[in-house]
């Protein structure tokens, strides 16, 4: 029974892109794949999610929507043990939970953890994706991103998640450097894909030939992911959002956010934005 390698991020920060890369990297040698990208609706073959109801059902016979936040918090360890029992090797699991305690129980059990890859994204761009995902305006998305009580709602297929604010989430996962933690910026995945994705592969202990790395990057590019969603939809898309794979660019905020919105985001998240070099120093009124 292997431990869990977490693929962690605040929502809409690039977690699904990371999962697509890992799938394409590990499965492209399979002759059955025929050189095609992994189906975006088939990404639970090699990875899973810590909020899927299937890992909790054996712990409480009631309908999942009857479970309270406290119930879910108490069951998380049992759910993570069930995830581990499902495979002999390391379990690769997506999480949007902040690394913290909820109702007296940890969201992530460190003794069950093999390591973590954390993807961080500039909140000035992230807020645009978040607004579309939740079907709200940008001001409301800024409010959500700054809310320390924010979390994902249960829907019968997934359980409650603990997101907290963007700053709390980022700090909770990245404040303590550790050899079992690899932090990557979304923007570097875009601008320097070989360096960023190569670092992820090395962290996972994979000795990947350059051609294999290049092919995995190509197969999991935003263009390929968007083509698949356009052709057959994506089961993880929010019912309120227009597209899951919306734009896939950095710097959109410069055209879409007002000066007041920019200042509001920076006021709320200055410390973590400074850590990850996200402060827009070229904007005169941002001090």
Q: What is the CATH number of domain 4-122+150-234?
A: 3.40.50.300
Phi, psi (deg, nearest 5) at residue 72 = -65, -45
Instruction: Report the chain's mean pLDDT, rounded to a whole number.
Output: 88
Rounded-to-integer distance, Cα 178 and Cα 182, Å:
8
CA distances from 193 to 215, 231, 253 (A): 12, 25, 22
237-280 per-position pLDDT tens digit: 445 545 444 456 778 999 999 999 999 999 999 999 999 999 98
32-58 per-position pLDDT tens digit: 445 666 666 666 778 999 999 999 999
254-264 per-position pLDDT tens digit: 999 999 999 99
What torsion do the CA atoms of 143, 146, 152, 153 make, to the nearest 10 degrees?
Answer: -40
Domain locations in the chain?
A: 4-122+150-234
What pLDDT does 173 receive?
98
> Can you tell me the mean pLDDT for 15-37?
73
Is pTM beyond 0.85? Reply is yes
Percent of the chain with pLDDT over 90: 70
Could you give the maximum distance between any two Cα atoms of the chain, in Å? 58
**How many CA atoms within 13 Å lie on the side-chain side of 189?**
29
Contact 14, 20 (CB under 8 A): no
- H-run or E-run covering 182: strand 181-185
């Amino acid at each position: 029974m292997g431990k869990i390698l977490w693929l962690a991020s605040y929502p809409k920060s690039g977690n699904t892109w990371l999962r697509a890369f890992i799938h394409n990297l590990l499965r492209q040698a399979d002759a059955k794949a025929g050189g095609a990208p992994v189906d975006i609706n088939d990404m639970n073959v090699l990875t899973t999610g810590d909020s899927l109801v299937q890992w909790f059902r054996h712990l409480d016979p009631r309908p999942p929507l009857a479970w309270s936040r406290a119930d879910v918090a108490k069951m998380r360890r049992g759910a993570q043990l069930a995830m581990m029992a499902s495979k002999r090797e390391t379990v690769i699991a997506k999480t949007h939970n902040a690394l913290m305690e909820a109702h007296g129980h940890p969201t992530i059990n460190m003794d069950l953890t093999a390591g973590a890859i954390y993807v961080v994204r500039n909140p000035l761009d992230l807020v645009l994706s978040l607004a579309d995902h939740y079907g709200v305006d940008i001001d409301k998305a800024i409010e959500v991103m700054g809310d320390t009580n924010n979390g994902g709602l249960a829907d019968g297929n997934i359980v409650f998640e603990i997101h907290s604010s963007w700053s709390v989430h980022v700090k909770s996962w990245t404040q303590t450097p550790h050899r079992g933690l690899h932090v990557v910026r979304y923007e570097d995945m875009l601008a320097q894909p070989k360096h960023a994705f190569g670092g992820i592969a090395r962290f996972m202990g994979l000795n990947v030939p350059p051609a294999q790395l290049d092919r995995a990057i190509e197969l999991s590019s935003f263009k390929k992911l968007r083509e698949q969603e356009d052709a057959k939809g994506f089961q993880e898309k929010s019912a309120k959002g227009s597209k899951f794979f919306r734009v896939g660019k950095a710097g959109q905020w410069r055209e879409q956010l007002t000066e007041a919105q920019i200042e509001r985001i920076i006021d709320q998240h200055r410390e973590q934005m400074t850590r990850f070099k996200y402060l827009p120093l070229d904007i005169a009124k941002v001090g």
